[in-house]
Amino acid sequence: MMQTALQVLDREYLEARCSLLEIAAALDRIDRASDEEESNDFNDSRLDLLNQAIALLTEKSHLPNRSERMLLLFSDLD
Amino acid sequence: MQIIQPHYHAIARTAQDYERMAMSGVVAVAEPAFWAGFDRLYPETFLDYFRQISEFEPTRAAEYGIKHYCWVAVNPKEAENPELSREVLKHMPEFYEKPTVLGVGEIGFHKTTKNEEEIFEAQVEQAIKYDQLILIHTPHLQDKVRGTKRTLEVLSHMNVNPERVWIDHVEEHTIREPLEAGYWVGFTLYPVTKCSPKRAVDMLEMYGHERILVNSSADWGPSDPFTLQQCVVQFRARGYSVQDAIEIFHNNPARFLGQNPKFDIKPIQLETIEDEISSNLV
């Protein structure tokens, strides 16, 4: 029998919380390191991808396949 | 590299942990009194537990060349029963006489209730009276900010020396106030909850190395004593020297715990061969 949404959330909440905190800390780390550089305009296409992926998580979309869409975002499709 | 594991619940772990810790450079562990996973019913149950961590565990650790120290206390979860807690408190001074007992801990808040606060204050008072070090647990997850603030409020009205108090389980949102108030703080590294090795190194970079302890708090739950060694690796991978790592992962616990003379492991300083040669020439 499939788990209920509540059962899934009970099981996944702490791990998802942990993953989000790690992402926040990684972005803070990049910010701090770029602040220490002479020019504060550090940019990198991978950072853009990360920001797009984070935006994908916050979309009010009914599409359930976030992980698939995120992997496509990180894929070289040309 | 030599490491001190300042917060470790050995009673919940196997001898294999001791063996692997010894192989990875751990020279000493300190075991705070902890919740057993269920609320104990009798004062005597606590006393037998204190005997286990002050008599049996030192012998088990010694088989692997590790020194084992401990703390005694009624932990915050069981402090919800003040009557039982006060009975235990009556007997705690007997354990301060033991050769490996370093102080009173872990005490503090779990749900930040009035009962917890009453027993927290009573244990701090006893620690001051018997000149013991103090180790304070701060709550998990969503209760952490509230519990940490109340901890600082309670301590501000008591005659404690902040340098002899360690406020544990701090994270990015709770580190600043205790550190600025002069207390020692601890990062507790867990696989999922609390702090991660990378985030601990971030905080070391942001707040410096003074009055900061790092531990893995390995216990009976999902935990891993080697998150501490992972943190050492993360720290070194960011370019810090072995001596820098020794300052944090060996010398800082030696400094804090060494305020109790029973803890006789001193801070160490690496010497280069050139230093040794020149000192021999003098």
Report CB contact under 8 Å: A22, B196: yes
Interface of A with B in 24-43 (CB under 8 A): 25-26, 28-29, 32
- Give the residue extent of every domain in chain A: 1-42, 44-77
CA–CA separation, A69 vs B129, rounded Å?
Answer: 62
Check if CATH label 3.20.20.140 holds for domain B3-280.
yes
Q: Which residue has the tokens 């770029």?
A: A34
Is residue B187 within a helix (H) or strand (E), and if so which, with residue range? strand B184-188
pLDDT tens string B41-68: 999 999 999 999 999 999 999 999 999 9
pLDDT tens string A2-49: 999 999 999 999 999 999 999 999 999 999 998 776 566 788 999 999
> Closest chain B residue to A18 measured between Cα atoms?
B192
Residue of B193, B196, B199, B227 to mutate, interface with A, max A Cβ within 10 Å: B199
> Closest chain A residue to B141 measured between Cα atoms?
A14
C-alpha distances (whole Å) from B87 to each of B79, B82, B93, B104, B244 are 11, 9, 12, 15, 44
Q: Which of B32, B27, B6 is nearest to B108 (CA)?
A: B32
CA–CA separation, B226 vs B191, rounded Å?
Answer: 10
User: In the numeric block, which tokens belong to residue B23?
Assistant: 């192989």
CA–CA separation, B267 vs B247, rounded Å?
Answer: 8
Output the tens digit of pLDDT for each of chain B's 282 residues.
999 999 999 999 999 999 999 999 999 999 999 999 999 999 999 999 999 999 999 999 999 999 999 999 999 999 999 999 999 999 999 999 999 999 999 999 999 999 999 999 999 999 999 999 999 999 998 899 999 999 999 999 999 999 999 999 999 999 999 999 999 999 999 988 889 999 999 999 999 999 999 999 799 998 999 999 999 999 999 999 999 999 999 999 999 999 999 999 999 999 877 776 777 776
Q: Which of B161, B142, B141, B138 is nearest to B151 (CA)?
A: B138
